[in-house]
Amino acid sequence: MGFEDNLDQESAAPPKKSLFRYNSPLVQVSLIGLVCFCCPGMFNALSGMGGGGQVDPTAANNANTALYTTFAVFGVLGGGIYNLLGPRLTLAAGCSTYVLYAGSFLYYNHYHHQAFAIAAGAILGIGAGLLWAGEGAIMTSYPPRDRKGTYISLFWSIFNMGGVIGGLIPFISNYSRSEAASVNDGTYIGFMCFMTLGALLSLAILPPSKVIRDDGTTCTNVKYSSVSTEALEILKLFLNWKMLLIVPASWASNFFYSYQFTNVNGVMFNLRTRGLNNVFYWGAQMLGSIGIGYVLDFSFSSRKTRGYVGIAIVALLGTAVWGGGLANQLNYSRHDLPNKLDFKDSGSDYAGPFVLYFSYGLLDAMFQSMVYWIIGSLADDSAILSRYSGFYKGVQSAGAAVAWQIDTHKVPFLSELIVNWSLMTVGYPLLLVLVKLAVKDDKEGEEGAKKEVAPSFAH
């Protein structure tokens, strides 16, 4: 069992230079962006409402704990599964679990039994591990070496448009509902429709061996894989010094969601305003990914220098945003909750917390895009990058599982903020070390990449 290789390509002429060929990296990265627009994008909108749209966040917190626990395991295994099954089966299987998760909250709206939501969360964790390992491999290995930041930005923008549209669904459908109510059935049904579409779109993704860049190179030289090979390679990741340097950043990169979604958006704003805030939170992610993508691809001629500057920019922004978060958090606590804000409130009552929540979204995209760019700079081969991306998502999800359970145990809001800020800060110097030791400048990288390319595609 292995990738769907088309060996006839080895004698084929290089393709015409069109960005919009179906088998071009641009079209394929755009397609995976649309898949994630429909599935994780809508999931993000659902989570971003705080408590999965429910008044009591306990069921959503427990479901998310189950989700990220299984995600931590299958995120790591996902790269190997992707190398065995190829993108279509891996992505379709992963996407189908999102529909079940949204459906579990539709059920919860009527019966208020947590068991289904928790089980659906655990199943979604398996599916998300498969989806994100495949997504990471596609996003980091399909683009040309000198445009990985740009393609990551393209993916992140399309993906987060899902959160923007997903934020409008609860805002519009719950505009006139009271704060005491959970979101209505139509909100969950809308999410389920988009997620089903994403599962169908995943079948349109081509395997790496059939994706051809304009210079005639294919996106990988992998011909097959086996269970034993993948098991061994996955175990090696835990001893790989490059991956160990990424661990703190990986752990931190989803740890803050429980705090931001539940204890900022969920606590400070009323029902309809939470949906509106998410439109801008995920819109900020689009802006953040485009901005950092430009820096990482175009700011300096040296790839290493671009990496250093990108990390420095994110670190400075992160310090400013979490500092603003600290100032905001000092105004309320779990035992002294604020009055719910509405987007129609005048003056700075709404504006200040809104800008903070917007900035959290901006920082999230810049931080994760930067980490993906670094991962993509460590190799060019799809099989290797699928394992690296899976490891990143696995560690990230383990952190998220802990974070959601921390919130369930009612840890003080201020303590959560300090831990989030500290975790992100620890990651920056280790990423600088990784760029210094492992990221090759463009000329060095191109020489290494040529060794992996089939001779018939070289010019």
Q: How many residues does the chain have?
A: 459
Q: Give the residues of the chain that fall short of pLDDT 70.
A: 1-19, 49-56, 174, 177-182, 220-225, 347, 442-459
Query: Is there a contact between 145 and 381 (Cβ–Cβ < 8 Å)?
Result: no
Whose tokens are 């939170």? That residue is 281
pLDDT of the residue at 12: 42
The CA distances from residue 56 to 41, 271, 356, in Å, are 23, 13, 24
Secondary structure, 3-state, the chain: CCCCCCHHHHHCCCCCCCCCCCCCHHHHHHHHHHHHHHCHHHHHHHHHCCHHHCCCCHHHHHHHHHHHHHHHHHHHHHHHHHHHHCHHHHHHHHHHHHHHHHHHHHHHHHHCCHHHHHHHHHHHHHHHHHHHHHHHHHHHHCCCHHHHHHHHHHHHHHHHHHHHHHHHHHHHHCCCCCCCCCCCHHHHHHHHHHHHHHHHHHHHCCCHHHCECCCCCECCCCCCCCHHHHHHHHHHHCCCHHHHHHHHHHHHCCCCHHHHHHHHHHHHECHHHHHHHHHHHHHHHHHHHHHHHHHHHHCCCCHHHHHHHHHHHHHHHHHHHHHHHHHHHCCCECCECCCCECCCCCCHHHHHHHHHHHHHHHHHHHHHHHHHHHHHHCCCCHHHHHHHHHHHHHHHHHHHHHHHHHHHCCCCHHHHHHHHHHHHHHHHHHHHHHHHHHCCCHHHHHHHHHCCCCHHHCC
- pLDDT, one tens digit per residue, over 103-123 is 998 888 888 888 999 999 999
Whose tokens are 């529909």? That residue is 99
State which amino acid sits at residue 451: K
* Overall domain count for the chain: 1
Alpha carbons 27 and 172: distance in angstroms, whole number? 32
Query: Of 85, 163, 69, 157, which Cα lies nearest the Cα of 121?
Result: 69
In a domain, 2, yes or no: no
pLDDT of the residue at 458: 31
Query: Is there a contact between 435 and 304 (Cβ–Cβ < 8 Å)?
Result: yes
pLDDT of the residue at 53: 62
Report field, pTM of the whole predicted structure over 0.95: no
- pLDDT, one tens digit per residue, over 253-287 is 999 998 999 899 989 998 888 888 988 999 999 99
In a domain, 39, yes or no: yes
pLDDT of the residue at 179: 58
- Residues 249-277 as b/e (b if ≥16 CB within 10 A, e otherwise) read bbbbbbbbbbbbbbbbbbbbbbbbbbbbb
Cα dihedral 407→411→417→423 (10° resolution): -80
Residue 66, judged by CB atoms within 10 A of its CB (0-12, 13-18, 19+), counts as: buried
In a domain, 9, yes or no: no
pLDDT of the residue at 457: 29
Residue 241, judged by CB atoms within 10 A of its CB (0-12, 13-18, 19+), counts as: exposed
In a domain, 256, yes or no: yes
Query: Is there a contact between 51 and 394 (Cβ–Cβ < 8 Å)?
Result: no
Give me the domain span that covers residue 148: 18-457
pLDDT of the residue at 308: 97
In a domain, 7, yes or no: no
In a domain, 1, yes or no: no
Handedness of CA 308, 309, 311, 315 (dihedral sign): positive
Question: What tokens appear for 437 in the block?
Answer: 């030791």
Residue 339: how many other CB atoms lie within 10 Å: 10
Alpha carbons 81 and 134: distance in angstroms, whole number? 9
Secondary structure, 3-state, 104-124: HHHHHHHHCCHHHHHHHHHHH
Sequence-ordered list of residues with C-beta below 8 angstroms from that of 396, at least 6 positions apart, any chain: 75, 250, 251, 253, 254
Alpha carbons 431 and 444: distance in angstroms, whole number? 20
CATH code: domain of residue 211: 1.20.1250.20
Alpha carbons 35 and 93: distance in angstroms, whole number? 12
